[in-house]
C-alpha cells in the first residue's frame, strides 16, 4: 500500500484558493446610496476547467440602476460618472458630481428611425463644421424645406425655380413682397396696382395677360420705372412682364421694369 503524503497548511490553502477560482463565481455587491438600490452582480469564473456546453443554463441575472422620478432627480446630485434611470421620462440620466438633476439622455435624432418618412425634430441650433471645397458639409438627397435661408458666401445654383401664385383679378390688385416671388394675373378689366410687405432686396416678377379688350393700367406714383415710362394701357390679347425690386420699406424704394410683346 502506497503511503499517503500529508497535506500541509499551504497546500490546503492552495487547494482552497483553486476551488474558489475554478468553481465559484466572483461576487460584487454594491451599496445603497441616496435613493433607489444597487443590485447583486454575479460574474462566471474565468478559468473553469470543465465544459459547460451540456450543462443547464444558469438563471439570468438582472442589472438595475438606481432610479427615481423626474421630481426626485431634480433634487439629486449623482456622483461623477454615475448613471441613474428616470422613471417618469423612461430615460437614462448621466451625472457629473456637480449638476443637480444630472443630464437626461433623451431627444436624440435616430440614425435610422425605421422609415425615411419618419419626422424627427432638433429644437436647438445645429452647427456643421465638416467638409471642404471638395466634400459637401451637408448633403440632402431629396427636397428640403426652409423658412428662411441666409447664405454668407457664394451660392451655386444649378437650376432656379421661382415658386408662383395666381393673383385673382380685381380693379385694385395689391402685390405682396412677402409672399410668392412669381405671380400670374389675367385681366378681365382695367386694373390699378399697389404693393405691401416691402423688404430690402425683395423681388417680384409677374406675368400679365390681357383679355380680348384693351385695358388701362395704374401704378403707385412712388415706383421708379427704368427702361421706359410707366405704361398706361395694354392691348387686347397681349402678354406683359412686370418686374419689381424693393430697396426699402415703402413705394418710393421700389424700382420697376415693364415689357410687353409687340
CATH code (residue 196):
2.60.120
Q: Flag whether 129 is in a domain.
A: no
Instruction: Please report which helix (H) or strand (E) contains residue 16, including its range.
Output: helix 9-23
Same domain? For 244 and 169 the reply is yes
Q: Which domain holds residue 220?
A: 164-260
Average pLDDT, the chain: 83
| Residue 150 forms part of a structural domain | no
State pTM to two decimals. Answer: 0.58
27 within a domain of the structure (yes/no): yes
pLDDT of residue 50: 53
d(CA 163, CA 180): 6
User: Measured between alpha carbons, how far is 14 from 155 in angstroms, rounded to an integer?
Assistant: 77
In a domain, 153, yes or no: no
Number of domains forming the structure of the chain: 2
Taking alpha carbons only, the member of 193, 199, 177 closest to residue 234 is 193
* pLDDT tens by residue, 31-88: 334 455 444 444 455 454 555 556 666 777 888 889 999 999 999 999 999 999 999 9
State residue 9's pLDDT score: 47
Q: At residue 129, does pLDDT exceed 70?
A: yes
- Same domain, residue pair 168 and 247: yes
Mean pLDDT of 164-179: 97
By CB neighbour count within 10 A (0-12 exposed, 13-18 middle, 19+ buried), where does 67 fall?
middle
Domain boundary among 39, 73, 106: 106
Centroid of chain to Cα 80 = 30
**Are 93 and 174 contained in the same domain?**
no
**In the predicted model, is pLDDT for residue 22 greater than 70?**
no
Phi and psi at residue 74, in whole multiples of 5°? -65, -20
Take residue 227 and report the three cell numbers written for it: 427702361
Comparing CA positions, the residue from 119, 78, 82, 127 lying closest to residue 99 is 78
Q: Is residue 245 part of a domain?
A: yes
Whether 55 is covered by a domain: the verdict is: no
CATH number of the domain encompassing residue 20? 2.10.10.30
pLDDT for 12 beyond 70: no
Residues 177 and 102 in one domain: no
Residue 11 lies in a domain: no
Q: DSSP alpha helices (H): ranges in 52-210?
A: 70-74
Compute the average pLDDT of residues 121-141: 87
% the chain with pLDDT above 90: 53
Helices (H), 32-78: 70-74
Asked whether residue 144 is domain-assigned, the answer is no
Per-residue pLDDT tens over the stretch 191-211 = 999 999 999 999 999 999 999
Tell me: do 99 and 168 sit in the same domain.
no
Which of 70, 88, 106 is the endpoint of a domain? 106
Amino acid at each position: 500500500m502506497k503511503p499517503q503524503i500529508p497535506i500541509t497548511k499551504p497546500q490546503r490553502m492552495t487547494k482552497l484558493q483553486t476551488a474558489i477560482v475554478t468553481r465559484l463565481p466572483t461576487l460584487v455587491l454594491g451599496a445603497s446610496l441616496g435613493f433607489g438600490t444597487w443590485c447583486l452582480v454575479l460574474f462566471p469564473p474565468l478559468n473553469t476547467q470543465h465544459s459547460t456546453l451540456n450543462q443547464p443554463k444558469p438563471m439570468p441575472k438582472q442589472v438595475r440602476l438606481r432610479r427615481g422620478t423626474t421630481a426626485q432627480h431634480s433634487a439629486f446630485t449623482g456622483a461623477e460618472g454615475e448613471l441613474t434611470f428616470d422613471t417618469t421620462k423612461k430615460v437614462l440620466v448621466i451625472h457629473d458630481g456637480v449638476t443637480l438633476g444630472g443630464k437626461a439622455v433623451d431627444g436624440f435624432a435616430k440614425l435610422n428611425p425605421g422609415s425615411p418618412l419618419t419626422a424627427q425634430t432638433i429644437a436647438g441650433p445645429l452647427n456643421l463644421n465638416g467638409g471642404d471645397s471638395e466634400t459637401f458639409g451637408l448633403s440632402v438627397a431629396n427636397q428640403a424645406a426652409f423658412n428662411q435661408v441666409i447664405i454668407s458666401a457664394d451660392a451655386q445654383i444649378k437650376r432656379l425655380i421661382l415658386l408662383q401664385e395666381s393673383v385673382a383679378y380685381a380693379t385694385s390688385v395689391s402685390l405682396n413682397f412677402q409672399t410668392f416671388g412669381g405671380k400670374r394675373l389675367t385681366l378681365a378689366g382695367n386694373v390699378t396696382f399697389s404693393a405691401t410687405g416691402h423688404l430690402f432686396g425683395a423681388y417680384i416678377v409677374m406675368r400679365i395677360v390681357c383679355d380680348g379688350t384693351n385695358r388701362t393700367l395704374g401704378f403707385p406714383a412712388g415706383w421708379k420705372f427704368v427702361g421706359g415710362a410707366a405704361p398706361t394701357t395694354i392691348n387686347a390679347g397681349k402678354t406683359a412682364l412686370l418686374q419689381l425690386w424693393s430697396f426699402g420699406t415703402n413705394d418710393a424704394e421700389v424700382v420697376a421694369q415693364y415689357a410687353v410683346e409687340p
